[in-house]
């Protein structure tokens, strides 16, 4: 049983973190560089899930994913099954829930690229897409890696949203955190460690990876000429 919860958690977290990292590049790029007056509004919307209680967000997503709602009906038709209580629903909910954790560090890294560096790329003749891909993205790799790690770690530890949207179905949508909860509520309460230990290891590994990325990022900070 622990194996299925572990594999579901790993598959969910890896997929969420990787998809979010890919989505974060254009999203953060638009927020930071578009100069659009509405970018502040969009940034607030993207980070809304940071302040909403997870159970409330889970409920809202459950309603939105339900086949009775237009988006839920559309997605159910596309996938061939309703989203709630399925791995696909769990993944979509995780993507929405963890979005700010992936986009935030990337946007922060983009903002730290010196304006002079961007200007120099333009002076040399690079167009915006080239500047973005060959200058901004490479200089922001530590932020992109941080976003991936945070997206992964946050998905491993999420509870309220996966409970509401996934329904805690063993072998299908039961993640490690849900298994730990179930085991702790069981008659003897001792089985919880089976799920708690991997969660502790994932958390420690994520924090360790974050520190390593931060150190590497500091040693690769953009250089301005020394006078």
Partner 1 sequence: MRPISLEADLHLPRERGLSSGGRVQIRLEKESGVVGICGPSGAGKSTLIRILAGLLPRGTGVIRVDGVAWLDSDRGVDLAFEQRAVSCLPQGTGLFSHMTVRENLLFAHSLSERPDKGRGSLDWFSLSGIFPHWTGSRRRPLPERLLLLVERFGIGDLLEKGPGALSGGQTMKVALVRSFLKETRLYLLDEPLTGIDPEGRGRLTQEIAALLRERRAMALWVTHTPGELSPVADKMVALPLEEEAPGRIEEEGPPVGFDLPFEREMTEWRR
Instruction: Name the site residues for partner 1 (rule: CB under 8 A).
Output: 114, 116-117, 119-130, 132-135, 137-139, 141, 220-227
Q: How far is the CB of 217 from partner 1 (least distance, A)?
A: 12
Q: How far is the CB of 60 from partner 1 (least distance, A)?
A: 37
Q: Which is nearer to partner 1, 57 or 145 (CB)?
A: 145
Q: How far is the CB of 104 from partner 1 (least distance, A)?
A: 21
Q: How far is the CB of 51 from partner 1 (least distance, A)?
A: 33
Q: Which is nearer to partner 1, 68 or 119 (CB)?
A: 119
CB 45 within 8 A of CB 31: no
Q: Which is nearer to partner 1, 81 or 122 (CB)?
A: 122
Q: Which is nearer to partner 1, 185 or 224 (CB)?
A: 224
């Amino acid at each position: 049983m622990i194996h299925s919860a572990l594999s579901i958690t790993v598959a969910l977290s890896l997929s969420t973190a990787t998809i979010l990292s890919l989505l974060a590049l254009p999203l953060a790029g638009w927020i930071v560089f578009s100069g659009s007056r509405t970018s502040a509004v969009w940034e607030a919307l993207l980070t809304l899930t940071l302040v909403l209680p997870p159970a409330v967000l889970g409920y809202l997503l459950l309603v939105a994913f339900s086949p009775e709602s237009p988006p839920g009906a559309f997605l159910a038709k596309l996938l061939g099954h309703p989203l709630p209580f399925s791995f696909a629903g769990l993944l979509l909910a995780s993507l929405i829930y963890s979005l700010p954790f992936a986009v935030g560090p990337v946007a922060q890294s983009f903002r730290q690229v010196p304006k002079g560096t961007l200007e120099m790329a333009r002076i040399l003749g690079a167009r915006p897409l080239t500047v973005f891909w060959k200058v901004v993205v490479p200089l922001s790799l530590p932020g992109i890696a941080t976003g991936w790690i945070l997206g992964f770690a946050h998905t491993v530890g999420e509870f309220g949203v996966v409970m509401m949207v996934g329904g805690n179905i063993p072998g299908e949508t039961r993640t490690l955190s849900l298994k730990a909860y179930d085991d702790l509520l069981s008659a003897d309460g001792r089985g919880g460690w089976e799920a708690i230990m991997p969660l502790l290891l994932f958390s420690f590994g994520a924090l360790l990876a974050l520190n390593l990325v931060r150190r590497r990022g500091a040693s690769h900070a953009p250089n301005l000429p020394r006078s």
